[in-house]
Amino acid sequence: MSQAFISLRDGTGLDTLAPALAHGAVALFAPPASAPILRDAGLAVTEVADPFELPDRLGQPVSRNPLRAAVRALDLVIVTTLCPDGNDGRDRPPVSPDLARDLARDLARDLAHDLATLVRMAAHDHHRVAVAVDPADFGAVAALVSGSAAGPAAEARRRLARRALAHTAAVDAAVAAAIPAESATDGDGPFPETMALIGRRRLALRYGENPQQQAALYSLQMQPQTQAPGVCTMTQVHGKALSYNNIADADAAFGLARTFDRPAAVIVKHGTPCGAARGDTLSDALGRALTCDPVSAYGGIVAVNRPLDAATAETIAGRFFEVVVAPDFAEDARARLAGKTALRLLATGTATMEPPETPGFRSVGGGFLIQTANRPPDTDTPWRVVSRRPPTDPEWRDMRFGIAVVGHVRSNAVILVRDGATIGIGTGQTSRVDSARMAVQKATAAAGDTDGRPAGPGAAGAVVASDGCFPFADGLEAAAEAGATAAIHPGGSKRDAEVIALADARDMAMVFTGTRQFRH
């Protein structure tokens, strides 16, 4: 290699690359901001204020496409300045939303746009030009410069070109996403006609949902840097490697736990809650969540919405869980759980507990579905008391809790709630009455699982929450027979009158939210 253009954000990785460049006597060209970085590494460099000046500096004839002319004279292009987010780009989006908007305002004259074009051209000429956009690749570049690459040089250049083109695609996608935000008149709403999804691999997983499937975790690179904490911002602080199912269940558990203001604990198994509760303390909340379905909780995932303390860790230490998700872990809590080497502890960060506005994606054959984030209905929407008897204050509190939980349970979902805790969860049934019967059965089984203590009250005094309307009165009747005293659901069935009549006959309070909460 004889000539290279290098634009660096900082000196990361240069200790690996600089000796090879110096030994190979490569002529270096760099923008003014990058030249001092190279000189500090002991390299001679010629400053180039603009990539369009390169052809003259490289002795190339005048061309209608000066960047193309420059690439013809270069052997190496390194640009790490297309990732202005404060690190090497491996853990954060390559283009922040603010920068994307700046690029969108004036693409033609922006230096970053010119550098992205230069990178693309170099990547397309990978049969003779090496290109790198990530300091993690400087070792491979150094091997090419020194002629010590382990495999064929052509394959190494192809590998680098693929990474470079993926990187510039992420830049372009971020700019494209920013342009509609500048105009409210294009009629696309939240979903443009063409959408590019760019992800960065966070974890290579041992396997997928089943051992015969391959899997990885990617973070969306176009999300705001201030996104609320979640599984893609998590730090694993203890335990063995995460599995695909661990991550999916951790996301489901923390997605529910974060919705509550008071201390709360959630236990998830196979993507759906098997216990959720609020409490005066985390330890209280977790203990109450466990009583909902202690059998299903075995091997589950726990999520809490406060830093995990020692008292809560004590409860966890006496049981088998796969994962615990929390904003953070107190030192004494970590010490208590240190002996459980198989237990994964995930710290999501404490910047904000507000649920994110990230849209939901689902793959379908040949494409994907996308929808805006769901939110549980609240009393700002027109909730209606439709029964003769209005809810008591404790019933209102359980209705609000229940409607927040039921939207995170697999449809058809019917749950029983009492005193800020689930006591029976009916999930994933194809008929609503079967989900109601499952919730009753779970509540009854948990009440009888007392280890010699007096039996619990089962469903007596519980509030029923349903993610959809009761199409017939039978589902509500199953809960009423078990002792439920109030119900909350969207309403809207052709047989609403029959359901309301049953509630009145049982002296139940009933509220319609007007908002369905399906989750499939």
CATH code of the domain containing 439: 3.40.140.20
Name, in order, each residue with C-beta under 8 angstroms of 72's C-beta and a sequence gap of 6 or more.
60, 125
Q: With CA atoms as reference, report the closest residue to 335 among 310, 311, 303, 304.
A: 310
Are 278 and 256 within 8 A, CB to CB? no
In a domain, 284, yes or no: yes
User: Could you give the angle at the alpha carbon of 324 between the alpha carbons of 318 and 329, nearest 5°?
Assistant: 95
CA distance 470 to 413: 11
Are 201 and 216 within 8 A, CB to CB? yes
Quick: pLDDT tens for 61-115.
666 677 777 788 888 999 988 754 433 333 334 445 555 555 444 443 445 568 8
Name, in order, each residue with C-beta under 8 angstroms of 147's C-beta and a sequence gap of 6 or more.
none
Q: DSSP class of residue 78?
A: E
Residues 236, 177, single domain; the answer is no
State which residues form the domain around 7: 3-181
Residues 122, 168, single domain; the answer is yes
Residues 163, 274, single domain; the answer is no
CA distance 266 to 270: 13
Residues 301, 413, single domain; the answer is no
Residues 90, 239, single domain; the answer is no
Residues 390, 341, single domain; the answer is no
In a domain, 238, yes or no: yes
CA distance 484 to 465: 11
CA distance 513 to 490: 5
In a domain, 353, yes or no: no
H/E element, 446: helix 432-448
In a domain, 394, yes or no: yes
In a domain, 451, yes or no: yes
Q: What is the pLDDT of residue 379?
A: 60
Q: Edge-to-edge strands of the sheet including 272-278?
A: 235-238, 344-347, 321-326, 300-304, 264-269, 272-278, 421-426, 414-418, 463-466, 486-489, 509-512, 384-385
Residues 98, 166, single domain; the answer is yes
In a domain, 356, yes or no: no
Q: What is the pLDDT of residue 176?
A: 72
Are 211 and 245 within 8 A, CB to CB? no
- Count: domains in the chain: 3
Bridge partners of 301, per DSSP, are 268, 323
Token duo for residue 263? 């201390």
Torsion sign over Cα 428, 430, 432, 437: negative
In a domain, 281, yes or no: yes
CA distance 359 to 198: 14
In a domain, 360, yes or no: no
- Among 318, 347, 376, the domain boundary falls at 347
CA 378 from chain center: how many Å?
24
pLDDT lower than 50: segments of the chain:
84-95, 103-110, 184, 224-226, 450-455
Bridge partners of 172, per DSSP, are none
- Among 181, 213, 237, the domain boundary falls at 181
Residues 12, 127, single domain; the answer is yes
